[in-house]
Every structure is written in structure tokens, then in C-alpha cells.
Structure 1
């Protein structure tokens, strides 16, 4: 599914924009479930006079889409499709210094922690409070590795149709100050159905125990994050 920008909008005013940035979502109605199946592109797309078409090459497998039992074929051979285009500001390059929210968490007695999750204190980002969750022995998807997630804090919630785009990076700090472990930046939508985001690069526990605990058995982690976009009333979420 694809959307195309009408080139005339780039030349219809006295000072036309040379570029238009937008987030794209695509929808296919499922009669059986009486709701839309949606695919959302989390990266902003740049439309220009030389690139007016953006989209996704596959929303649903063709075999699944064409099987009447799955609910995507309506009366006769009709289908119902939709798209949502959210105009965005120009993205800031990754290597540019941004006014990130920075939060540092010292996890004491790290080597003594047992299986399970450990939650940081709240910190403010935008209009809401957030927390970090660590699984020091790994979660179900990464046993034996440090797993980490950014969550909306307990008591915080999103309204129906409210979406927040968060860009974040977490580092495990080197107590010697020379070789911090970072998984790079992750950008993802947070919405009512997914109020957390996993942060990239699961780190082997053996590597942490060998070089990233200070003399008091403390692991220091730091997250840099910012809200890059927010939608208040998306009709499809």
C-alpha cells in the first residue's frame, strides 16, 4: 500500500515547501473481527518533487488476504482500505546534539539480584512520568542477558487515540569512564496497546560482571530520551 503526494502542493503558494515530512499508517478492514488491521511506519518519510510516493511493500500476506475465511473480503469481491497521514516536522539528524532528557540509575548489589524485574524511580519526560525496568537475569526472550525497557510510570495512562513517539538510548556506564556500552537509538510509538518499548542491545551478564560493576557491586545505567512527536486524537487508535 502506498500514498502519493500531489506535486501541486509543492508549488501552489508563493513560498512552497520543498519537502514534506509525514508519518504513515495503513489500514485494511476485517469484517470478521469488525475492526481495522493496521500497519504503522515508525520512521518519518520525506516527500519531495522527485520522491512523491511512499508506503509499505506488504501489509498482509496475499494468501491470508485472499482467503474469505479471514474476513478481509467484504460483499462480493470488495475490500476496504484506509490510510492516515500525520504531517511532521523535519527530523533532527542522529549525530546532532539534542536536548535529551537524561536519567541515571544506580542498581546496587547487582550480582546478588535474583530473577525478575526491577523498576527505577519515576522521571519526567514531556507531560508524563516514565520508569526503566531491568531484568538482571534476562527475560523470556533473552535469558542470561540484561534486558531493559522504558515504560510509562504506574498511574500514567494514554487516552484512546493518543500516541507518543519516543526516541531513546540506554547506556551501561563503565566505572572507569572509558568504554560505555550503548545499543544505539531506538525510535518507537508508545500507545494504549504498547505502553513500553524494549531498548536495543541485550548485554551478556558475564560481560557486565567482568567489567561494568564498580567496587561496591553497583551497576550504573543512563538513558537519554526525548519525545519527537505526539498525536492526541488519532481516529484509528
Structure 2
């Protein structure tokens, strides 16, 4: 048995005993002799942690097959039958191994920083170099106490499968990207803002608004144009990204006025656009036809979409 994967570990001391399993050895020398007849290892009885069955495996003089010579090697093995009877059939777990020091009255801990995947093909993970034998066997360090006693342990924290997620995409191939709005009798409009009917694009409904008297100053000299999400279109707390061209058409030729919109719609009721899209003087000169009609077109380039888990 070997891990065959290099590990980065964190070493520390802890007063609290192991929470998953502990093995207290009354006679270490005899344990070492016994492991000569079991491929160098001692296997604990099965125990439960995180709804699965496990064994703690100790190599008291090191697992040579896993670069553990000169160290205490420790592993955990999941009972494969508990994998086949549960869903999912792959389990990720965080592992922390312990060796007690009576001198410190604490547990030396060596923790694998990576969560390890246990499955039917790979049932065992661990650390081949938990504690150097030189330190362990030096009685001044307190790992051996009361004659020939010692204690080992493990914490196994099963990592739950992801249940909260989202997938963000940016749709650049919109089926009907253009919206046209013809505003008749512009000079007679009293309301500020003047609102279009809603239209659909990118899976959302949108509402463009004109402010003939300006957005920030009701009697200003500018035409303001903003794009809003329709009411109720952002109940799910999504951020929606939009790239669009907003065009005021020149009725006499091709000198259209185009501005580019790049924005994230984050909150219900917020619009994005321009307070000073074009001056009213320039609008009357160049962009109203003889019937006092204004034509606005919006062409969507990109609209984001978010899929998410049912529970967030």
C-alpha cells in the first residue's frame, strides 16, 4: 500500500484529541515485531466517520514502498462496500494525523493540505512521512512514555459534494438582436421619461426610456437615453451583462449617432445609458424628420446568462 502522490503538509500542535479515531499502543516494541508479518503495517478495526467506514493504517517503522523509510507512516482506507452503497461513489476527505507527546501534553499533527478523493479504484490515502523516527524514538520528546506506550490518531473530515454553484455564459449569437423604436411627435411629448413597450432579448425583457427634457435636469438641453430591465426580470439576484449599440438615426442620410453600451445590470430598477446622449438643439437639427419623428434602434451584441443550483 502506498500513496504514490507527493503531499504538502502542515505541521502543528493541538491539545484536543483526535475526533475520528485513536489507537493507544501499550507495547510499541511488540507492535513493531508483529508488523514484520503483515507487510510492515498495523490496521485498526473499522470505524465510522462522515457516514463511511474506515481503517487507520500505521507503519511504525515506515512504509519503504512509499518513501517512508526513517519515518512513521500513516494512512486511512475507506471500506469499499460503503462507497458502492452510497451516492456519490467518490468521496473527498481532509486528513490530519496525530502522534501524542506526553512531555508537551499535546498532539503533534501533520495535515495533508489537499482534499483526497476516495473511490473504488483508490481506497487509501495518507502520509508516508508523518514523524521522523529519530524524533519519535528520542524519549526526551515524550512520544514514548510509561515504558513503551504511545498514541496515534486521525481526523477525517468528509467534504460534502458541491450543492451551490452557477455557470456564467455570454451569448454572442442572439436570434433577434435588433429593436426599433419610432417616437412620433417628439416635440409634443410631455412625460419625462417617455417609455417604450417592453421587448425580449437574451432571455430577458427590456424597457428603453427617453428623457426629452433630460434626466438630471427636467428643463435641460439634453436628450437622455437609458435601458432598463423590465419589472420582475431580476428577482433571482443575477448580474446580467450587456453589450449593445444604441443608435439615433439620421433621417436624411447615414450620419447616424451611435453610442456603445457596456454594463452589468445588478439591481432591479436601475437603468444604464447616457444623461447627455445628444443636445436637443443638435437633435432638432439632424435627427428629427419632417414629421417630428425620432427613430431609435438598439442592437444587442452580448447578453450574459447564468444557470445556478436550486439552493444557493
Which one of the candidate residues 118, 128, 146 is aligned to 2:204? 128
Q: How does 1:8-47 map to 2 (within 5 A)?
A: none
Equivalents in 2 of 1:91, 1:231: separation in Å? 11
Equivalents in 1 of 2:252, 2:211: separation in Å? 24
- CA shift for structure 1 position 133: 0.3
Q: Deviations over 1:156-206 (max 9, x none)?
A: 3213431211111211100013200112x2211112355422248610000
Whether the aligned pair in 2 keeps the contact of 1:161 and 1:232 (CA below 8 Å) is: no
In the other structure, the counterpart of 2:264 is: 189
Please say if 1:157 is aligned against 2:233.
Answer: yes
- CA shift for structure 1 position 126: 1.8
- CA shift for structure 1 position 225: 1.4
Equivalents in 2 of 1:232, 1:191: separation in Å? 16
Alignment CA distance shift 1:108-1:91 (3 Å): closer
Whether the aligned pair in 2 keeps the contact of 1:109 and 1:217 (CA below 8 Å) is: yes
Alignment CA distance shift 1:171-1:134 (3 Å): same
- CA shift for structure 1 position 125: 0.4
SS of 1:111's equivalent?
Answer: helix
Name the structure with the higher strand share.
2
TM-score computed with the length of structure 2 as normaliser: 0.40
Whether the aligned pair in 1 keeps the contact of 2:239 and 2:265 (CA below 8 Å) is: yes
RMSD: 3.2
SS of 1:228's equivalent?
Answer: strand
Q: How does 1:155-234 map to 2 (within 5 A)?
A: 156-183=232-259, 185-193=260-268, 195-199=270-274, 202-233=277-308
- CA shift for structure 1 position 219: 0.7
In the other structure, the counterpart of 1:148 is: 225
Question: 5+ unaligned residues in a row in structure 1: which ranges?
Answer: 1-85
Question: 5+ unaligned residues in a row in structure 2: which ranges?
Answer: 1-165
Equivalents in 2 of 1:88, 1:109: separation in Å? 42
- CA shift for structure 1 position 231: 2.8
Whether the aligned pair in 1 keeps the contact of 2:167 and 2:307 (CA below 8 Å) is: no
Equivalents in 2 of 1:191, 1:116: separation in Å? 24
Aligned residues between the structures: 145
- CA shift for structure 1 position 116: 1.0
Higher Cα Rg: structure 1 or 2?
2
Equivalents in 1 of 2:224, 2:200: separation in Å? 22
Equivalents in 2 of 1:201, 1:225: separation in Å? 21
- CA shift for structure 1 position 107: 0.7
Whether the aligned pair in 1 keeps the contact of 2:183 and 2:293 (CA below 8 Å) is: yes
TM-score computed with the length of structure 1 as normaliser: 0.52
Alignment CA distance shift 1:100-1:186 (3 Å): farther
